[in-house]
Chain A
Amino acid sequence: MPHRTMKSLLVGLGLLIALPSSAHAIAFSAPCEAPYVFSNAAVNVVVLPYSQPAAFKETLTKSGEQLAALVQLESMLAIAKYGSIGLVQLVGDPREGCTPDEVLPKLLGQKDGAMEALRPGGGLVLVWGRIYESGADLFVQSFIRFVRRGVNETIDIPVANRTLRGQLTSQAFACTPRRIAVRDLEDVQKQYASARLLHAQPDLSSAAVKLPEGAGPFSFFITDVRGDWVQLEPIARSPGRNDRFQRGWLQARTPAADWSLRRQLPELAFVEAAVGYLAARVPRDASAQQRNGALTSATAALSEYLGRWRENAILDTDPSAPTGTAFALAVPRQLGGFIRLLKDGVTDASLESAQADFQRAAMQAPHSAEARALTALAGFALSYRRARADQSPRPFLGDLQIALGADPGNKILIANVVAAYDLMLTPPTGMPANWSVTGAERQELTRQRDALKPLAGS
């Protein structure tokens, strides 16, 4: 169906609504060919179906879609605390274009076809994956991308009268593949069935209405969260599908003692962290305390992910061997450094902690010039601020130059090198004597700086 026709139809049905910016909303079974987000929400999580082999076990043919639905619900429980969030489960066949390649440009407004695109500056976490089968074994691999529309994730580090700007290595990565049992997918099925029931009370014995399969979207406000239960209020009361539902309670996950998706997929903790990070950075009406709270929760979720990422993972028996999914460790560590600097401000302690994270990330992704530059920037800023004779910023300037040699078109990196030259040429009063540059060095630094300046980004 053409985009505009579909949009008109949905507007007619009252499905496109203006969501209050502080509200939570969730949509089930939204068709992938016309994806949407809740554009008034600060951050949206959109989950695509996990693709699976065409010749999958007959009883498990819906596993990919059901797993995605549970990822959505699990995320809902984890991120409701951030305020102003939207969650959308897309349904469709990955072999027929229900893929991030098709969906993301629409949601970012770069391509026609979204029912409702992200507003500029709005945050989005996209989750998708693969399930594959081998004999009696099943493996699942998730992929995550986090973005703000029109914004590259960077962190500003003020140093004296200049600002250095750090970049992430990537805003998307593949998680490590994990082994799951067929029984786990059967649990997914059971939990999915239970999570499609809208109860009158947050109690399994209360009366329930079943959400239909397919032919969505079914959109709801999230009006309350109590433990594993969420209260949903239908968004559209137009003639049609959603009228069949009253406000009701949905059990988003079975109690912790039973099977837990979060235990199976530690990367869901990263999703929680990424949403918290974005929620703190998206421009909106939120207090400093709320933003700080989001960053605190994000830090805890990141720690959980980095502490548990090995669980069920298929890894080399040699623990020192590379993991094959280097970005799945490097990017979260860099994000951890960003969060620390945002939350605590740029202090010696926060820089030291962030530098340690950046350094580990650079070891995990040695091919990333951004990772090397991030470590060098933090080191440069820290040594410049401390102004100690035994800790010259000079080696960090050298590292920045090496990073630039490996990514010579990176305008942000060029601007950083220019700023570092400036700082070396105009040292603070009372700087250690061994920091001073000779006349010849000064001349060379000035020449390099002046040549680079016109190439730098703003």
Chain B
Amino acid sequence: MKTLALLACCLLLFAHTLEAQIAPCSGVQDPGTKILLDEIVASTPGAANLLQPLASRLDAGLLQVQTELGLDLNLKVLPCANRKPTGPADFTRSVVDQLNVRNVVMEVWGVTTEVKDAQGRAVQEASVGYVLVPVRLNELQSQRPPGAFVIPYRARPSDPAADLLRLVDQSGRLAAYATLASGTRALRAAQDAAAGRRPRNIAEDEWAFARKRLCAAHALFTSLKPPPAASDMQLVDYARTLAAQTITGAKADQRYSGSLKLQPENLPCPTGR
């Protein structure tokens, strides 16, 4: 009995800790599309010196996304102090639902770690976690594609900070993710409006908006520096599939009269490189 009580206590404490790591983020209720940037943490003391560069790099990368895509999306980047996800599993259905209703399209977190390379030398690694909220919602419903994942970046010991700058988002990965997430969200909105599940947005051609974002995401993924991460390969296919769905959906939508109605169903998105 005593053991059981202790176990229950431990479980409660663990659950509480996990919950605390997904601490609420102030400003998340504000109107507009949002990207959350969580607190960057060092998992080992030796990795602390990469903390600041990783935080700065992600912050600057997201500022770039906001600057270059922001007017289209009314996008805001919210820094979330004390919010420290431990991994993709933290993004359960209820957590993701909460983010989705608050118009959060993406959340990014990071951990720096000191690891040993093949020769046993200490090298610093930054792991960046990404949750593409509308994609994660689909994943939780249909097991495809990955909507929450972690990508490790290993910096060379000789110049770890500059190397991290080169590695993290050097080829526009954040833009690809943000664009895919907003396109996925727009497609769902268009599908819901067509099915009468929500009122139609008469100020905006939602099918066209979704198509534009999804084709841009497709091109951004194909422009990433090779070799692609496994998750990226799945996401580029996903972007292509959803982009095709914008045409079939628009054509089937009897109240839609935009230019997608005239396009052939098999019209591909333009490719990048």
Contacts and interface: CB of A to CB of B under 8 A. Distances in A.
Nearest to A52: B56
B69 to A, nearest CB: 9
Interface string A315-343: 11110011111110000000000000000
A342 to B, nearest CB: 24
What is the size category of the interface that chain A forms with chain B?
35 or more
B218 to A, nearest CB: 8
A132 B58 CA distance: 11
B272 A409 contact: no
Interface stretch (B4-12, B14-22, B59-67, B89-97): B59-67
Contacts of A20: none
Interface in A133-158: 133-135, 137, 139, 141, 143, 145
B171 A324 contact: yes
Contacts of B64: 143, 174, 325
A215 B172 CA distance: 40
B270 A372 contact: yes
Interface stretch (B38-46, B135-143, B254-262): B254-262
Contacts of A53: 52, 56
Given A141-B60, A321-B171, A405-B269, A173 B259 contact: no
A387 interface: no
A406 interface: yes
A143 B52 contact: no
B68 A130 contact: no
A408 B258 contact: yes
B166 A315 contact: yes
B212 A409 contact: yes
Contacts of B53: 132, 134
B205 interface: yes
B1 interface: no
Interface in A162-195: 170, 172-174, 177, 179
B263 interface: yes
Interface centre among B53, B68, B220 (most CB of A within 10 A): B68
A455 interface: yes
A366 interface: yes
B52 A134 contact: yes
A326 B172 contact: yes
Interface residues of B, number: 55
Contact of A366 (B162, B209, B257, B270): B270
Contact of B67 (A174, A403, A408): A174
A170 B53 CA distance: 28
Contacts of B260: 408
B105 interface: no
B253 to A, nearest CB: 13
B170 A316 contact: yes
Given A53-B52, A134-B53, A408 B63 contact: no
A135 B67 contact: no
B2 interface: no
Nearest to B71: A172
Interface in B184-231: 204-205, 207-209, 211-212, 215-220, 222-225
Contacts of A143: 63-64, 67
Given A407-B212, A408-B211, A367 B63 contact: no
A330 to B, nearest CB: 10
Contacts of A48: none
Interface in B160-184: 161-162, 164-166, 169-172, 179
Contacts of A409: 204-205, 208-209, 212, 258-259
Interface in A402-452: 402-410, 414, 448, 451-452
B76 interface: yes
Contact of B162 (A173, A174, A314): A314
A285 interface: no
Contacts of B60: 130, 132, 141, 174, 177
Given A130-B56, A367-B216, A455-B258, A139 B165 contact: yes
Contacts of B273: 366
B215 A322 contact: no
Contacts of B258: 408-409, 455
A101 interface: yes
19 contacts: A101-B76, A130-B59, A134-B162, A135-B161, A172-B70, A177-B60, A316-B170, A322-B223, A322-B224, A324-B169, A324-B172, A366-B219, A367-B272, A369-B215, A408-B205, A408-B208, A408-B211, A409-B258, A410-B212
Given A367-B217, A402-B267, A407-B211, 10 more contacts: A101-B76, A134-B49, A134-B161, A143-B63, A172-B70, A177-B60, A324-B171, A366-B273, A367-B220, A409-B205
Complex A-B, nearest 8 residue pairs according to Cβ-Cβ distance, in ascending order: A409-B208, A134-B161, A132-B56, A367-B219, A366-B272, A174-B64, A134-B53, A406-B215
